[in-house]
A and B are shown apart, each in its own frame.
Chain A
Amino acid sequence: MEIFGIPHQAFLGQLMLGLVNGAFYAMLSLGLAVIFGLLDIVNFAHGALYMLGAFAAWILLDKFGVNYWYALLLAPLLVGALGVVIERVFLKRLYGLDPLYGLLLTFGLSLILEGVFRELYGVSGQSYQVPEQLTGATNLGFMILPNYRAWVVLASLVVCLGTWYLIERTRLGAYLRAATENAKLVQAFGVNVPVMVMLTYGAGAALAGLAGVLAAPIIQVTPLMGSNLIIVVFAVVVIGGMGSIMGSIVTGLGLGLVEGLTRVFYPEASSVVVFVVMIIVLMLRPAGLFGKEA
C-alpha cells in the first residue's frame, strides 16, 4: 500500500517520528509559557535544562545504577532543584527590569552549563539504553510501532494535559493565573507570591528535565542537544503565542507532525519548515495562532 507514492510504512513511521518530536516541542514550549506568564522571563536556559535532564538520567544509570523508571522521577527533581537555585540566586534580582535581561542572563547560564558538560563529556554523544520493558515494537496491522516511541508520546501527553488541568482547573492553578494577571493583588490576599514564583520556575525546569529523560533513549545524549532544540521551540512559541496552555500543546504536536510530513516529501526542507511556518503565521496573524495580545 502506498500513500502519495510513498510506502505507507515509511510514511507512518515519519509521522510517528514527527509526533515524538512534537511531544518534546509541546513539553518544552509549555514550560516556557508557564515561566513567561509568571516571571516575564523567556527562559533561554530551557534547552540546557532539558540537556541536564538527559545527562542526569545517563549519569544516574552509569555511575549509580539507578534505572530508567527511578531516573524519570529523580532527574526532574534534581533539575527542578537547580531551577529553584537559579531563581533564588539570579532571576529574583531581575524582576521589574526589561525582560531582555532575563533572556540574556539565561543565555549566559546555558552557555556555562553547556560548556561545563562539553568539557566533561566531549561533543560526541552518550547512548542510553531503552528500558527493557519498552524495547521492541508492536505490530498494529497497518504499521509497526516501536514501543518506546509510543510511550514517549503517551507520557508527554499525560504530562501536558496534567499541567493544563493543574493550571486551568485547580485552586493552585487559579492562584497562579491570578498572579500572572496581577501579582501585587494576589500577594495582598495573603498568597506567598515569591515562593510561588520560585516553585513555578522550579516546576518549569523540572518539566524540561523530564523531557530530557524521555528523550535520552531515542537520541544521543550530547551537551548541545538542548540549544539546537530550544531555537525551534522558540519558533513554536512564536507560532502558538504564549497566552494559552492548550495552545502550546496543540501547536507543539502540530508542528512536529508538519516536520514529519516534510521529511517524507521534501527531506531537505525538514530542518527549516518550522521557521517557514513561523514566517507565514507572522505575516497572516502576528499575535500567533493562540495569542491574545495585539
Chain B
Amino acid sequence: MLKRLSFAAQMALLALLLLAPFLGLYPVFLMKLLCFALFACAFNLLLGFTGLLSFGHAAFFGFSAYVTGHLIKVLGWSPELALLAGAVTGAGLGAVFGLVAIRRQGIYFAMITLALAQMVFFICLQAPFTGGEDGLQAVPRGMLLGSVSLMSDTVMYYVVAAIFLACYLGIARIVNSPFGQVLKMIRENEPRAVSLGYEVDRYKLLAFVLSAALAGLAGSLKTLVMGFATLSDVHWSMSGEVILMSLLGGVGTLFGPVLGAGIVIALQNLLADKVGSWVTVIIGAIFVICVMTFRKGVVGELQAYMDRRRQHG
C-alpha cells in the first residue's frame, strides 16, 4: 500500500515537472526553483548521506556561476560546454576544499569549509573577471548544441528540467549503490567503517567532489537561466540558505531538499517586495523553529509518521 502510494506520488511529481509551464506558473521562477533544488540535493548528498556538514557550498555554486558566465559572455562558449565547465570547476574546487577539510571532523569540518568559502568570496570580490561588486550581467543563453535557441523560456525550462531530473536520478542511484551504502555507514559510525577496512577519507573526498560538482552545475545553470552571476551567489548566506533548504525539507531524504528549496524560494519570491529585509529574520526564524521542533524536516517527519503507523498496524 505504502509502496504504491509512494510510486503514485512519484508519478504525480514527474507529471508536475513536465506540465508545470502550462499551469500558469512563471517559467523563470520554476527554473530558479529547479536550480536551487539541484543545489540542495547536491548539498544533501554530503550532509544527508555522508554526515558531513559543509558550511561552504556557496563557493561551488557561486564560483561556477561566474566561470560559466565568463565563458559564455566573454569567450563565446556554447551553453552545454559552459555548463560542463561549471561542473568541472565545482569538482576541482571541491577536491581542494575536501582535501583540506576532511583532515578534521564534525564541527571543525563545518568551520573549515565556511572559512575556505569566505576565502573564495574575497577572491571573487577582488578578481577582475567577476566584475567585483557589479557581478557579471547580461549573460546570453545562446544556442544549445549550436542549433536550439534557448531564448524561449519554455525551451529553457525543459532543458533545466531534463538536467535536474538526470541529476536527481543520478543522486538516487549513487545513494542506493554499494558506494552509497559505505557513505551511510560513515555517517552512522565512522570508527566502525575504519575498522572494517574502508579508506574512509577517500570515500568522504569522493562524496565531497561529487556534491561540489553538482552544486557547481546548479550555479552554472542558474547563470544560464537568469543571465547573471553576482557576489550574493558566493556569500556565506547562500551556504546558509542551502542548509536551510535541506533541513526544512528533510536531511537524508531524497525528495526533502527539493521540497525545502521549493518552500524557501517561493517564500523569498512572495515576501521579497512586501517585507524587505525582514526576509532574513524570517529565514532565521524558520531555522530556529526547524532545529527546535522538527529536526527531520517535512519529508523526514512524514516518513517517520508513516513508519510509526505501519508498525502499529
Q: Do A and B bind each other?
A: yes
Residues in A lying within 8 Å of B, measured CB to CB:
36, 42, 90, 93-94, 97, 99-101, 103-105, 107-116, 118-119, 227, 231-232, 234-235, 237-238, 268, 271-272, 274-276, 278-279, 282-283, 286
Q: Could you tell me which residues of chain B, from 94 to 116, have a CB within 8 Å of some CB in chain A? A: 100, 103-104, 106-108, 110-112, 114-116
Q: Give the tally of cross-chain contacts (CB within 8 A).
A: 116
When A104-B243, A104-B287, A108-B288 are in contact, do A235 and B277 touch as well, CB less than 8 Å? no
| Alpha-carbon gap, A113 to B288, bound state (A) | 12
Is B129 part of the contact surface with A, judged by Cβ < 8 Å?
no
Q: Which 8 A-B pairs have the closest CB atoms?
A: A108-B287, A111-B284, A115-B280, A115-B281, A112-B284, A275-B119, A235-B115, A286-B103
Min CB–CB distance B72 → chain A (angstroms):
28
On whether the beta carbons of A107 and B240 are closer than 8 Å, the reply is yes
A116 to B287 CA separation, bound complex (whole angstroms):
15
Do B292 and A112 touch across chains, with their CB atoms under 8 A apart? no
Give Cα A276–Cα B104 distance, bound, in whole angstroms.
16
Q: Which residue from A112, A271, A272 sits with its C-beta under 8 Å from B285? A: A112
**What would be 27 A-B contacts, judged by CB atoms less than 8 Å apart?**
A36-B107, A97-B295, A100-B53, A100-B106, A100-B107, A104-B243, A105-B292, A107-B284, A108-B284, A108-B288, A111-B237, A111-B240, A111-B283, A112-B281, A115-B277, A115-B278, A115-B280, A115-B283, A231-B114, A234-B115, A235-B111, A235-B115, A237-B111, A238-B104, A238-B111, A275-B115, A283-B103
Chain A contacts for B108, CB-based, 8 A: 238
Contact status of A99 and B287, CB under 8 A, knowing A111-B280, A272-B122, A278-B112: no
Closest residue to B56 on the A side, CB-wise? A231
Shortest CB-to-CB span from A262 to chain B, Å, is 13
Nearest chain A residue, comparing its CB with the CB of B125: A271
Interfacial chain B residues near A115, Cβ < 8 Å: 277-281, 283-284
Residue of A nearest to B108 (CB): A238
B14-53 interface code vs A (CB 8 A; 1 in, 0 out): 0000000000000000000000000000000000000001
Q: Which of B110, B123, B276, B292 sits near A100, CB closer than 8 Å?
A: B110
What is B's interface to A at a CB cutoff of 8 Å? 53, 55, 100, 103-104, 106-108, 110-112, 114-116, 118-119, 122-123, 126, 236-237, 240, 243, 247, 276-281, 283-288, 290-292, 295
How long is the Cα–Cα vector from A274 to B286 in the complex, in angstroms?
A: 32
In the docked arrangement, what's the CA distance between A118 and B283, Å?
14
Contact of A282 among B100, B119, B290 (CB under 8 A): B100
CB of B176 to closest CB in A, whole Å: 24
**Minimal beta-carbon separation of A278 from chain B (angstroms):** 6
Of A104, A109, A118, A279, the residue contacting B277 (CB under 8 A) is A118
| Contact B100–A283 (Cβ < 8 Å) | yes
Which residues in B have their C-beta under 8 angstroms from that of A232?
115, 118
Alpha-carbon separation in the docked complex, A90 to B293 (Å): 11
Residues on B with C-beta less than 8 A from A104 are 243, 247, 287, 291
Given A231-B236, A282-B103, 17 other A-B residues pairs in contact with their CB atoms under 8 A: A94-B291, A100-B110, A101-B291, A104-B247, A105-B292, A109-B288, A111-B237, A111-B284, A111-B287, A115-B283, A235-B111, A235-B118, A238-B108, A279-B100, A282-B104, A282-B112, A283-B103
Nearest-neighbour CB distance to chain B for A99, whole angstroms, equals 5
Q: How far is B237's CA from A211's CA once the two chains are assembled, in angstroms? A: 24
**Distance of A11 Cα from B33 Cα, bound (Å):** 51
Check A231 against B118 for contact (C-beta < 8 Å): yes
Q: Within 8 Å CB of B286, what residues of A?
A: 108
Would you give the shortest CB distance from B58 to chain A, in whole angstroms?
12
Please report the C-alpha to C-alpha distance between residue A94 and residue B287 in the assembled complex, in whole angstroms.
Answer: 14
A-chain residues with CB within 8 Å of residue B288 when the two chains form the complex: 90, 105, 108-109, 112
